[in-house]
Amino acid sequence: MAKKFLSGNEAFAYGVRLARPQVISAYPITPQTIVVEKLSEFVEDGSLNAEFIHVESEHSALSCAIGASSVGARAFTATSSQGLLYMAECLPYAAGGRFPIVMMNANRSTALPWNIYGDQRDSISQLDSGWIQAYACNAQEALDLALMSFYIAEHKDVSTPFMANLDGFVLTHTYEVVDVPTAEQADAFLPKYQTDNKMDLQKPRNLAFSAGPDTNAFFKHREHLGILNASKIIGEAEERFAKIFGRRYTGLTESYRTEDADYILITLGSLSGLVREVVDELRKEGSRVGLLRLRYLRPFPNEEIAATVKNAKAVAVLEKDISFGNEGTVYTNVNSALQKAKLRIPSSDYIGGLGGRNIYKEEIKIIFDELEQQQSTVKFLGIGGETNGN
Amino acid sequence: MAINAKTLNETEFFYGHKACAGCGGSLAVRIALKVLGENAVAVLPAGCMSAVGFNFPQLCFGNNAIISTFAGTASMLTGVEAGLRAQGITDFHAVGFAGDGGTADIGLQALSGAIDRNDDILYICYDNEAYMNTGIQKSSLTPFGARTTTTPAGKNIRGNLRPKKNLFEIVAAHGIPYAATASVGYINDFMRKVEKAKNIRGTKYIHVLAPCPTGWGVKTDETVEIAKEVVDCGLWYLAEYENGEFTLNRRPKEFSDVSAYLKRQSRFKHLTDADIEIITRSRDEKWEFINNSFK
């Protein structure tokens, strides 16, 4: 293990190199570029033995990765925002074909208005595409996630593509000290990709076929089961990871000072670092507050959320997305988790950080203050006013 | 030994599918796979051939085959080729079969990207001159005058107003190692070109005219005949592009009657003498270019 000073993008690229992908296809888009530049350098200097394909669009980036995966190769791509939307056709395609491609997405706002800065409207718009979705909160987790994502995606009980999300700029471009594991450690962690779901010269197959009304649901149900299975395999991967690398992750969610918390703020990504600080400050003042970070949005941590917040007086979601005409999508999902667990807890939604707008400590403190009113509201942070008639 | 009907592989790789009777596209796919052999790994986008060949549980390819997204034939081929090579596998032929819309319209960007990278793939466009799978809509390879369901021939507009996109030369302009035109009417020529492409490294492109009786309005037993006639009357030509040079493979001594070719197809039934004159003139201009520029 070696300590390096790396940005989130670079850390992720180091993680990908350790996973030894055989085919990388990518198209540049801010703020993803550094991860593919770094991987190109690794291929050039011989430290990564992969086919690097300079595709002419994001649609081709993922289509090419699907092609590589369809013959049993380990495939990686990376994108962001408009690029993710441009390749959107290929997302359910990869998931439906059960091709365990790993993709890094640098979370960035979507046009219009044009904006290159970070929010999570890009990836969250693709929640229904059948991909596992993870959200890293720092560069170390980004590297570790890169390595773990292949293990999880390629596990035979999962066979589902994996989207690892890093907040644009805030995480992708911020430098931190990162432990970079050795290749030997990584090889001990990550087995070679082996699958029967491939075209094979010895055993020819027809893949990515049509399935009509009589058989379609069978395949879709299997796809659903595969991504649900990821919950268990994520735990298995993290256990294995902890044994080899000594760093332990906590599955679909990570809770901070929630055990006795009356008020819990639920968020995801790099924002959780700031919320953690606010929780510490408010705790010093005697407030019983806590943080629940969603590390994964798919599979969705229904049970983990319910178990964590069951004794809380109120919860709020702070998210960098909005489903126009309704509310933040994370909030919708969280409320569904509460409902299924028969928890009648007031919940509020705060939509912030759109287009990279900074979120301030004071705003988070206000959220915790407002939580004490135990109401259910949907608000845009920094704009003021409720967004619906709740 | 030159490949021909006698030496062609007897094994079938594309059968049991539900293509229409007389389908020129399925003939092109069937023959090309016989030439390429069992180690062909085929990519077919959304379109006729995937619609008729991949209906679970009735899967009709004896070799490896996969459906790509409509726009993704070439990019998926790239991935298949790179993925196999990355695993040390080299004895295969990555081959794509896409229709005219899937090639000249929605798939052109990915095709251009693959040629630009000179990926070691063979891309075969089976050109039936419209979006036949969705019910005969105009593509950019639909010829001037043709009636399709989106270019109806009425009082005001007389079918498709634009000429057929010159995809062969667009592809050649990339400096591709090998490109060719062909027709299922001249099957030995097509087989020879597939065989040739099979042994060339880098990107290969074959544009094979493949009539669609359903869309063209001819009898199902006339496919081969009309695919010959389109070459004989000079509205299509058999050529190759290699080492920066165009070569004409078949020069009709004199053209057969354009009008006869057009009038036997219901898609051209509405054409007036003036329309046919326009088509004939554009044919002659094309041939002037061919005679001046092709070997």
Q: For A240-266, what is each residue's pLDDT tens digit?
A: 999 999 999 999 999 999 999 999 999
Q: How far apart are CA A307 and CA A313, in angstroms?
A: 14
Do residues B190 and B30 make contact, with C-beta atoms less than 8 angstroms apart? no
> In terms of pLDDT, which residue wins out, B56 or A382?
B56
Q: Is A350 helix (H, G, I), strand (E, B) or coil?
A: strand
Test mutation, A201, A219, A220, chain B, max B CBs within 10 A: A201
Preceding amide of A113 cis, omega within 30: yes
Whole-prediction pTM? 0.97
**Residue the block writes with tokens 């509460």:** A338
Q: How far apart are CA B85 and CA B7, in angstroms?
A: 30
Q: Which one of A25, A65, A73 has the shortest CB-CB distance to B87? A: A73
Q: What is the mean pLDDT of residues A18-44?
A: 97
CB contact under 8 A, B55 and A73: no
Q: How far apart are CA A314 and CA A309, in angstroms?
A: 8
Q: Which one of A54, A68, A204 has the shortest CB-CB distance to B117? A: A54
Residue B168 lies in a domain: yes
Q: How far apart are CA B171 and CA B123, in angstroms?
A: 11
Tell me: pLDDT of A367 over 90.
Answer: yes
Q: How far is CA B93 from CA A294, B15, B35, in A?
A: 45, 20, 11
Tell me: pLDDT of A151 over 70.
Answer: yes
Whether residue A307 lies within 8 A of chain B, CB to CB, comes out as no
**Residue the block writes with tokens 């010829």:** B143
Q: Which one of A66, A200, A208 has the shortest CB-CB distance to B79? A: A66
Whether residue A164 lies within 8 A of chain B, CB to CB, comes out as no
CB contact under 8 A, B109 and A60: yes
Q: How far apart are CA B226 and CA B262, in angstroms?
A: 10
What's B35's domain CATH number? 3.40.50.970
Give the DSSP letter string of B42-73. Answer: EEEESSHHHHHHEETTEE-BSSEEEEEPGGGH
Q: How far apart are CA B139 and CA B120, in angstroms?
A: 27
- Residue type at position A327: E
Q: Which residues pair with A207 in a beta bridge?
A: B66
Residue B35 main-chain phi, psi, to 5 deg? -70, -40
Do residues B132 and B270 make contact, with C-beta atoms less than 8 angstroms apart? no
Distance from CA of B167 to the nearest CA of A (A): 19
pLDDT for res B128:
98
Q: For B244-284, what is each residue's pLDDT tens digit?
A: 999 999 999 999 999 999 999 999 999 999 999 999 999 99
Calculate helix-pair angle for A302-309, A329-340, nearest 10 degrees: 70
Test mutation, B17, B76, B133, B174, chain A, max A CBs within 10 A: B76
CB contact under 8 A, B72 and A23: no
> In terms of pLDDT, which residue wins out, A381 or A178?
A178
Cα B81 to its chain centre, rounded Å, is 22
Residue B14 lies in a domain: no
Distance from CA of B112 to the nearest CA of A (A): 8
- Residues with Cβ within 8 Å of A26's Cβ and at least 6 positions away in sequence, in order, are A32, A36, A39, A52, A53, A54, A55, A61, A77, A78, A79
Q: Say how many CB pairs under 8 Å bridge A and B.
A: 160
CB contact under 8 A, B71 and A65: no
Structure tokens belonging to residue B15: 């059968």
Chain A positions in Cβ-Cβ contact with residue B41 (cut-off 8 Å): 71, 199, 201
Q: Which one of B50, B56, B62 has the shortest CB-CB distance to A204? A: B62
Structure tokens belonging to residue A226: 């595969």
Q: How far apart are CA A153 and CA A368, in angstroms?
A: 37
**At A387, is the pLDDT very low, low, confident or very high (cuts 50, 70, 90)?**
low
Do residues B83 and A22 make contact, with C-beta atoms less than 8 angstroms apart? yes
Structure tokens belonging to residue A18: 């350790």
| Dihedral (CA of B38, B43, B48, B52) sign | positive
Q: Which structural domain range is residue B96 located in?
A: 24-293
**Residue the block writes with tokens 């051939």:** B49
Q: How far apart are CA A146 and CA A98, in angstroms?
A: 19
Chain A positions in Cβ-Cβ contact with residue B69 (cut-off 8 Å): 59, 63, 89-90, 93
Q: Considering only CA atoms, which of A208, A218, A123 is closest in space to residue A166? A: A123
Q: What is the mean pLDDT of residues A129-155?
A: 98
**At A390, is the pLDDT very low, low, confident or very high (cuts 50, 70, 90)?**
very low
Whether residue A229 lies within 8 A of chain B, CB to CB, comes out as no
pLDDT for res A321:
97
Averaged confidence pLDDT in chain A:
96
pLDDT for res A389:
43
**Residue the block writes with tokens 């705060």:** A350
Q: Which one of A64, A211, A215 has the shortest CB-CB distance to B79? A: A64
Residue B35 lies in a domain: yes
Averaged confidence pLDDT in chain B:
96
Q: Please give the domain boundaries of chain A with CATH numbers for all domains.
A: 2-245 (3.40.50.970), 253-380 (3.40.50.920)
CB contact under 8 A, B86 and A57: no
Whether residue A73 lies within 8 A of chain B, CB to CB, comes out as yes
Instruction: Please count the CA atoms within 13 angstroms of the CA of B61 that sit on its side-chain side.
Output: 34
Q: Considering only CA atoms, which of A90, A101, A109 is closest in space to residue A29? A: A109
Whether residue A228 lies within 8 A of chain B, CB to CB, comes out as no
CB contact under 8 A, A67 and B68: yes
pLDDT for res B4:
84
CB contact under 8 A, B78 and A60: yes
Q: How far apart are CA A366 and CA A186, in angstroms?
A: 43
Residue B4 lies in a domain: no
Instruction: Please count the CA atoms within 13 angstroms of the CA of B104 that sit on its side-chain side.
Output: 26
> In terms of pLDDT, which residue wins out, A223 or A382?
A223
Residue B120 lies in a domain: yes
> In terms of pLDDT, which residue wins out, A364 or A389?
A364
Chain B positions in Cβ-Cβ contact with residue A52 (cut-off 8 Å): none
Chain B positions in Cβ-Cβ contact with residue A67 (cut-off 8 Å): 43, 66, 68, 75-83
Q: For A49-68, what is each residue's pLDDT tens digit?
A: 999 999 999 999 999 999 99
Residue A322 is classified by DSSP as -
Distance from CA of A270 to the nearest CA of B (A): 33
Distance from CA of B287 to the nearest CA of A (A): 34
Chain B positions in Cβ-Cβ contact with residue A64 (cut-off 8 Å): 75-76, 78-79, 82
Quote the number of domains for chain B. 1
Q: Which residues pair with A265 in a beta bridge?
A: A291, A316
Test mutation, A51, A209, A214, A219, chain B, max B CBs within 10 A: A209
Residue B254 lies in a domain: yes
Tell me: pLDDT of A156 over 70.
Answer: yes
Residue A132 main-chain phi, psi, to 5 deg? -65, 140
% helix, strand, coil for chain A, step of 5? 40, 20, 40
Residue B2 lies in a domain: no
Q: How far apart are CA B149 and CA B201, in angstroms?
A: 40
Q: How far is CA A14 from CA A11, A34, A105, A375, B60, in A?
A: 5, 11, 15, 45, 43
Q: What is the mean pLDDT of residues A223-252?
A: 98
Determine which helix (DSSP H) or strand (DSSP E) holds B192, and give its type and residue range. helix B187-198
Chain A positions in Cβ-Cβ contact with residue B84 (cut-off 8 Å): 71, 73
CB contact under 8 A, A23 and B63: no
Do residues B214 and B222 make contact, with C-beta atoms less than 8 angstroms apart? no
Whether residue A250 lies within 8 A of chain B, CB to CB, comes out as no
- What residue of B is the nearest CA neighbor of A73? B83
Q: Which residues pair with B137 in a beta bridge?
A: B131
pLDDT for res A386:
55
Residue A206 is classified by DSSP as E
Whether residue A196 lies within 8 A of chain B, CB to CB, comes out as no
Q: Which one of B75, B83, B92 has the shortest CB-CB distance to A63? A: B75
Tell me: pLDDT of A388 over 60.
Answer: no
**At A43, is the pLDDT very low, low, confident or very high (cuts 50, 70, 90)?**
very high
pLDDT for res B212:
98
Chain B positions in Cβ-Cβ contact with residue A63 (cut-off 8 Å): 68-69, 71-72, 75-76, 79, 110
Low-confidence ranges of chain B (pLDDT < 50): none
Residue B19 lies in a domain: no
